Amino acid sequence: MKTGFLKVSNGCAVLRSDIPQLPFEDFRREALKIVKEGGKVVQYFGYQEDNTIKLLAVLRTDELLIAGTDAPDSYPSFTTECEPFHLFEREIAEQFGIRPEGHPWLKMVRYHPNSTGKPDVFGNDYQEDIPGRYDYYKVDGEEVHEVAVGPVHAGIIEPGHFRFNCIGERVFHLEIQLGYQHRGIENLLTNIQNKRLPIVIESIAGDTTVANASSMAQAVEALTQVRTDEGSKIIRTIALELERIANHTGDLGALSGDVAFLPPANYFGRMRGDFLNMTLLICGNRLGKGVVRPGGVRFAIDAEMRKELMRRINELEPQMQHVIDLLFATPSVRSRFEGCGTVSTYDAEKLGLVGPAGRACGIQFDARREFPTEYYQHIDIPVYAEPTCDVYARARVRADEALRSIQIIKTLLEKEIKTEPVDFGNYELAPASFVVTVNEAWRGELSHCILTDEKGGIARYKVKDPSFHNWNGLAMSLRDTGISDFPLNNKSFNLSYCGFDL
C-alpha cells in the first residue's frame, strides 16, 4: 500500500522535518484508507506549533506509520466512516477546540477547557466543577429506569460515573463518563525539569508503573542516543512481567469474589501480594516505582537476589496453577463466567479493543510479539486460543498470561544479569525530533509520544493508555446483560481511570 505516511520504528527518533505534512484532505483520505483496510490507530493528537495547531497520527499495520497535517477549525469527522477514531477526535476537540463535524457522539472526554482559547466545542462552563453535569444518553419508555453510580464508588476504587439505562434487571445501555481523575499530566510534562519526569510518569497509573516508565525511558533514550545494556533490558522485562502477573492475579481473585467463591478470592489476593513483594525486593517499592530510569535501571539483580527470586517464584508457581485450576473447574464459577458480557469480534474490531480484552475477542495483537522492546525479541509470546468473547475468555486469557509470565521470569532469572545501575538523568534531548514508543502493558497497548522543540525541550508529550481503547468495550459488554453482572464484567476488564484521565 503506497501512501504519504512515513514508516517509523518503535522507539526510534525521527526529525520533525521528516514527518510528512500532508494537505488535510490527503491526510484524511489516507488515514481512513489505512484503518479501513485493517490498520489501527495508535495515537492521533493535536499540538501547537508557532500559533498553528497541527495534527499527528500514528497508525499501525504490521509497521508503524506517521503523518501530520495542519488542523482546520472544523472538518468532516473521521468517525462517521471509521469508528476507531471516535475517542481520539473527541480528545482533540476537547484539547484544541477543533470540531469534527458529524461526529456521532461528540461529548467531552475529561472535562477541562481547551488550551487554545477557542469557544468550547461542548458548550461547557468550567466554573462548574462537576464533569457529570451533562445530558446522558436516555432511553425512553414506561418501564425503563436509570441507575447512576459514582463518581465515588462503594469500594476502594478510582472515581468515574456509570449511567445504566435498564428495563427491569436488563441493561439496554451503559454510558461511562470519566474525567474525575484529570490531573493535567500532559501539560505538566511540558513544564517541568528533567529530574521530575520519571516521578510524574510513574504516577500516571500506579498499577502500570513499570510499563509507563519503560515507555518514557525508551523515548528519552531514542532522543539522546543512549543505549541501555542487556542487563537493564532483562530487569525491565522482569519488572514488567511481575507487574502483569500481580495485576492479573489480583483481578482473578476479584472475579472470584464477584461470583461469591471466596477461597480463590483470598488465595489470589494473598499471592498478588507475594508478587508485589518480589518487586519490592528488587527496587524497594511494591509497585515498581523507581526501577526504570532513562539509560537503564536503578537497581541491579545479583546472583543472591536471583536465587531468592527464583525460590519465591518456584514456590508460587504450583500454588498459582492449583488455584487457577480450582477457579475454572468450579461449576458455579463457570456458569457465571460463560456467556456473560459478550463483545463480538466485529464490535471489538470497530471499538479497537487492545490487550487481554481484545485477545479474549480474537484480536491477537500483542505488542511484545509484534513490536518487541527491551528483551522481548528473545521471548516467545503465544497466541490466545479460546476467544469466546465473554467474561470467561477475559478471565482465562489473563490466567494463561500470568502463568506464561511466570515462565518468562524463570527463564530470565537463569542467567547472570549484568548491568550498571543509572541514576539522575542529566541529559539533553535531540531538538526538533519526534519519537513514538509502543509497549504491551498488562492492560494492552501503551504508547508514549514525545515531540521536542528547537531547543530540545518537550513541546508535546502524549500518553495513550490501553484503557483509552477499552472503556467502550466494557460499555458494550453490558448490553443486554443483567445489571447485577456489572461488577463481574467491570473486573474482567479492570480498566484504568487515571491512565485514561491523565
Partner 1 sequence: MLNTLKNRFEQGYKTSGYPKTSIELVDRYRGLPEIQKDAPDELARQCASECPQDAIDAEKKIIDMGRCVFCGGCERLSNGKFVRFTRNFETATSMRDHLLTDGRLPALAEHSKKHFKKLFGRSLQLRQVSAAGCNACEADLNVLATPFFDLARFGINFVASPRHADGIVVTGPISRNMKTALMDTFEAIPDPKVVVAVGSCAISGGPFRGSPEITEGLDSLIPVDLYIPGCPSHPLTNLHALLNYFK
Using CB under 8 A as the binding rule, whether residue 260 contacts partner 1 is answered as no
Least distance CB 316 / partner 1 (angstroms): 11
How many residues touch partner 1 (CB under 8 A)?
Answer: 73
Using CB under 8 A as the binding rule, whether residue 258 contacts partner 1 is answered as no
- Whole-number Å distance between alpha carbons of 422 and 294: 8
- Applying CB under 8 A, which of residues 80, 115, 285, 345 lies at the interface with partner 1? 285
Place of cell 457465571: 336
Least distance CB 298 / partner 1 (angstroms): 8
Using CB under 8 A as the binding rule, whether residue 381 contacts partner 1 is answered as no
- Applying CB under 8 A, which of residues 11, 46, 290, 341 lies at the interface with partner 1? 290
Task: Name residues contacting partner 1, limited to 297-336 (CB under 8 A).
Answer: 298-299, 318-319, 322-323, 325-326, 329-330
Judged by CB, which is closer to partner 1: 34, or 333? 333
**Quick check: 152 and 130 in contact, CB under 8 A?**
no
Q: Name residue 462's beta-bridge partners.
A: 449
- Whole-number Å distance between alpha carbons of 469 and 41: 10
Judged by CB, which is closer to partner 1: 57, or 108? 108
Using CB under 8 A as the binding rule, whether residue 163 contacts partner 1 is answered as no
Judged by CB, which is closer to partner 1: 154, or 303? 154
Q: Name the grid cell of 259.
A: 461470583
Site mask, partner 1, residues 330-369, x = CB under 8 A? x---------------------------------------
Q: Which stretch binds partner 1 (CB under 8 A): 88-96, 269-277, 356-364, 371-379?
A: 269-277
Task: Name residues contacting partner 1, limited to 117-146 (CB under 8 A).
Answer: 129-131
Judged by CB, which is closer to partner 1: 27, or 268? 268
Least distance CB 120 / partner 1 (angstroms): 15
SS3 sequence, 29-87?
HHHHHHHHCCCEEEEEEEEEECCEEEEEEEEECCCEEEEEEECCCEEECCCCCCHHHHH
Site mask, partner 1, residues 167-196, x = CB under 8 A? ------------xxxxxxx-xx--xx--xx
Q: Which stretch binds partner 1 (CB under 8 A): 84-92, 261-269, 333-341, 451-459?
A: 261-269
Q: Which stretch binds partner 1 (CB under 8 A): 40-48, 277-285, 342-350, 438-446?
A: 277-285
- Whole-number Å distance between alpha carbons of 353 and 489: 15
Question: How many residues are given for the chain?
Answer: 502
Judged by CB, which is closer to partner 1: 103, or 443? 443
Q: Name the grid cell of 207.
A: 498499577
Cα three-residue angle 433-434-435, rounded to 5 degrees = 135
Judged by CB, which is closer to partner 1: 11, or 150? 150
SS3 at position 464: strand
Q: Which stretch binds partner 1 (CB under 8 A): 19-27, 234-242, 259-267, 362-370?
A: 259-267
Judged by CB, which is closer to partner 1: 36, or 307? 307
Least distance CB 84 / partner 1 (angstroms): 26
Q: Is 175 left (phi over 0), alpha (psi -120 to 50) or beta?
A: beta
Least distance CB 146 / partner 1 (angstroms): 19
Least distance CB 197 / partner 1 (angstroms): 8
**Quick check: 13 and 222 in contact, CB under 8 A?**
yes
**Quick check: 431 and 451 in contact, CB under 8 A?**
no
Q: Name the grid cell of 130.
A: 462537576
Q: Which stretch binds partner 1 (CB under 8 A): 22-30, 134-142, 264-272, 391-399?
A: 264-272
Site mask, partner 1, residues 389-428, x = CB under 8 A? ----------------------------------xx----
- Whole-number Å distance between alpha carbons of 499 and 479: 25
Segment (H or E) for 478: none
Q: At what angle do helices 230-258 and 486-493 cross, to 10 degrees?
A: 170
Supply the DSSP symbol for 133. Answer: -
Q: Give strand ranges (E) for 86-143.
A: 99-101
SS3 at position 456: coil
Dihedrals φ, ψ of 325, to 5°? Answer: -60, -45
- Whole-number Å distance between alpha carbons of 233 and 220: 15
Judged by CB, which is closer to partner 1: 166, or 210? 210
DSSP string, 404-416: HHHHHHHHHHHS-
Least distance CB 401 / partner 1 (angstroms): 19
Task: Name residues contacting partner 1, limited to 445-474 (CB under 8 A).
Answer: none
Judged by CB, which is closer to partner 1: 65, or 205? 205
Cβ partners under 8 Å of residue 177, min gap 6 = 131, 132, 134, 136, 160, 161, 163
Strand pairing category for 161-167 and 144-149: antiparallel
Least distance CB 267 / partner 1 (angstroms): 5
Judged by CB, which is closer to partner 1: 207, or 485? 207
Least distance CB 52 / partner 1 (angstroms): 24
Q: Name the grid cell of 115.
A: 488550551
Cα three-residue angle 178-183-186, rounded to 5 degrees = 105
Task: Name residues contacting partner 1, limited to 203-232 (CB under 8 A).
Answer: 203-207, 209
Q: Which stretch binds partner 1 (CB under 8 A): 63-71, 202-210, 388-396, 445-453?
A: 202-210
Least distance CB 123 / partner 1 (angstroms): 17
